[in-house]
Amino acid sequence: MTEYLLLFISAVFVNNILLAQFLGNCPFIGVSNKVSTALGMAMAVVFVITISSMFTWMSVKYLLIPLELEYLQTIAFILIIATLVQFVEIFIQKVSPTLFRTLGIYLPLITTNCAVLGVSIINIRNEYDFMHTLVHSFSAAVGFGLALVLFAGIRERHALCDIPKPLRGTSLALITAGLLALTFSAFKGLL
Amino acid sequence: MKTLRQEFTKGFTEQLPPFKLVLGLCPTLAVTTSLEGGLGMGLATLFVLIMSNLVISALRNLIPKKVRIAAFITVIAGFVVIVELLMKAYTPQLFDILGVFISLIVVNCIVLGRAEAFAKKNNAVRSILDGAGIGLGFTLSLGVLGFIREVLGRGSVTLFSQANLKFQLLPVTDGYFFKLAVEPPGAFLFLGLILFFINLASMRQEGKKTSYS
């Protein structure tokens, strides 16, 4: 149990997927102007990363390794993720229209979010078993969501400030992200 | 219509990624802890860009519109696997430095972006030039960022870690480390600052133009 707890804390705070491992930075800079959209995106990402890394793990264990096709890993993963996202979209639309309204528009964007593919590959590289894969992917996604929502909160404040012209837009967003990453690096002492 | 030369040079002038065309941020931030990492990543992306642009533009009339994104991703993934296997075999150290980011070229928005915005509408020659230009621009940007961060963070630059060619550029002792530059927060800060200076320079230029006219 402690082992899983440590894995959770390390993935959320210490090795934060956005701020320490640089996965999924495009939506981080792109879709983070409002807390409400950031929350929707964060939920969709937690959902997709957890499910897709389960499937990619199983595909490696039961398909690619027995058939000795490990070199096809990248192609297999991206196809699994793309199909899965499409499937999840249709499924949610059918089962829960309310949930679809909150998550719907973010789902297609997630296919090209490198965090999804990245987490799947990291799981395989670290040779996690199924439970570790599950816990690690879920906590990495929670870390993504946490950073995204915090960042969106800061950017909402920026909208009200008088910012020097050359700093506006991506430039200030990146510097803010740098300061946020600096804060998160303080968690290193935690483990 | 742009001339062939313009198709090539736009990659390091008005569409220079990731500074002018803010795409492909993940590899930019992650691998630029050293000059070597930045250049290696840039060259790998350059190869994938040229080859995928070539194949996609050659097949542009055969790929049905509705499944084009899936088709593009499959083509790109194929070339990424080629790069992965080649690097694993010939430059294992560089492969270790770049790690998961080699596989992640598949989802690099620059590559898919060029396929969608350029290769599906233009012929093969133009697409190759476009890919080469954008890819070289990306390599150059990553090299510059990697160089700045490595010099500030370690005081020296190492090229070809297999041969271990090390150039001491700053007169520093072993105890000196401006560690922030090579750590994750430094990536965001330095890229943000470079963007700031580029914006500042282009605003100065525009200001001059308007004051003269």
- Residue A11: DSSP 8-state: I
Contact flag A171-B30 (C-beta cutoff 8 Å):
no
ipTM over 0.90: no
In percent, the amount of chain A with pLDDT more than 70 equals 94
Peptide bond into B171 cis (omega under 30): no
Across the interface, whether the CB atoms of A75 and B74 are under 8 A apart is answered: yes
> How buried is B107 (Cβ within 10 angstroms: 0-12 exposed, 13-18 middle, 19+ buried)?
buried
C-alpha separations of B105 from A67, B44, B45, B63, B166 in Å: 25, 8, 7, 22, 28
What is the pairing mode between strands B156-159 and B165-168? antiparallel
Among B103, B112, B185, the residue with its CB nearest the CB of A74 is: B103
Q: What is the pLDDT of residue A50?
A: 92
The candidate with the shortest Cα–Cα distance to A76, out of A46, A117, A136, A108, is A117
Backbone phi, psi, residue B157, to 5°: -125, 130
Instruction: Name the 3-class secondary structure at B52.
Output: helix
* CB-based burial, A128-151: b 16+ in 10 Å, e otherwise: beeebbbbbbbbbbbbbbbbbbbb
> Residue B183 is inside which H or E element, if any?
none
Q: How many domains does chain B have?
A: 1
Q: Please answer whether residues A24 and A113 qualify as being in contact, where contact means their C-beta atoms are separated by less than 8 angstroms.
A: yes
Question: Using CA of residue B34, residue B22, residue B190, residue B26, what is the dihedral sign?
Answer: negative
* Whether B86 contacts chain A with CB within 8 A: no
Does pLDDT of A136 surpass 90? Answer: yes
Task: Please give the pLDDT value at position B33.
Answer: 85
Contact across the interface for B104 and A23, Cβ inside 8 Å:
yes
Token code pair at residue B72: 């593009």
For chain A, the residues whose C-beta falls within 8 A of a C-beta of chain B are 19-26, 29, 71-75, 78-79, 82, 112-114, 117-118, 121-122, 125, 165-168, 170-175, 177-179, 181-182, 185
Q: How does residue A104 score in pLDDT terms, banded at 50, 70 and 90?
A: low
Residues 15 through 44 of chain B touching chain A, CB cutoff 8 Å: 22-23, 25-27, 29-30
Q: Which residue has the tokens 């992200």?
A: A177
Helix (H, G, I), strand (E, B) or coil at B170: coil
Q: How far is B123 from chain A (nearest CA, A)?
A: 26
Mean pLDDT of A21-45: 80
Q: Do B30 and A21 touch (CB under 8 A)?
A: yes
What is the residue-level pLDDT of chain B in tens, covering all 213 positions? 678 788 788 777 777 787 777 777 888 888 888 888 899 999 999 999 999 999 999 998 888 887 788 888 889 999 999 999 999 898 888 888 888 888 888 888 888 888 888 888 888 888 999 999 999 999 999 999 998 888 888 777 777 666 666 777 676 666 566 778 888 888 899 999 988 998 888 888 887 765 554
Best of A18, A19, A25 to disrupt the B interface (most B CBs within 10 Å) is A25
Give chain A positions within 8 Å (CB) of B195: 170-171, 174
Give, in order, the Cα–Cα distances in Å from B104 to each of A140, B98, B144, B150: 17, 10, 21, 23
Domain ranges of chain A: 26-185
Which of B39, B45, B210, B203 shows the shortest CA–CA distance to B131? B45
Distance from CA of B159 to the nearest CA of A (A): 24
Instruction: Determine whether the interchain pair B70/A122 forms a contact, defined as Cβ–Cβ distance below 8 Å.
Output: no
CA B155, chain centre distance (Å) = 24
The reported pLDDT for the residue numbered A130 is 92
B172 touches chain A (CB under 8 A): no
SS3 A115: helix
Please judge whether B192 and A172 are an interchain contact, meaning their C-beta atoms are less than 8 angstroms apart: yes
Among A74, A112, A166, the residue with its CB nearest the CB of B80 is A74
* Inter-chain touch B195–A78, beta carbons under 8 Å: no
The reported pLDDT for the residue numbered B209 is 64
Residue (of A167, A17, A80, A37) closest to B70 by Cα position: A80
pLDDT recorded at residue B213: 43
Q: Which residues of A fall within a CB distance of 8 Å from B106?
A: 74, 78, 117
Q: What angle do CA B194, B198, B202 make, to 5 degrees?
A: 170
C-alpha separations of A94 from A43, A81, A87, B45, B160 in Å: 18, 20, 11, 40, 55
pLDDT at residue A40, rounded to an integer: 80
C-alpha to C-alpha distances, A85 to A34, A140, B15, B148, nearest whole angstrom: 24, 18, 31, 39
Note down the domain range covering B110: 4-212
Burial zone of A112 (CB within 10 Å; 0-12 exposed, 13-18 middle, 19+ buried): buried
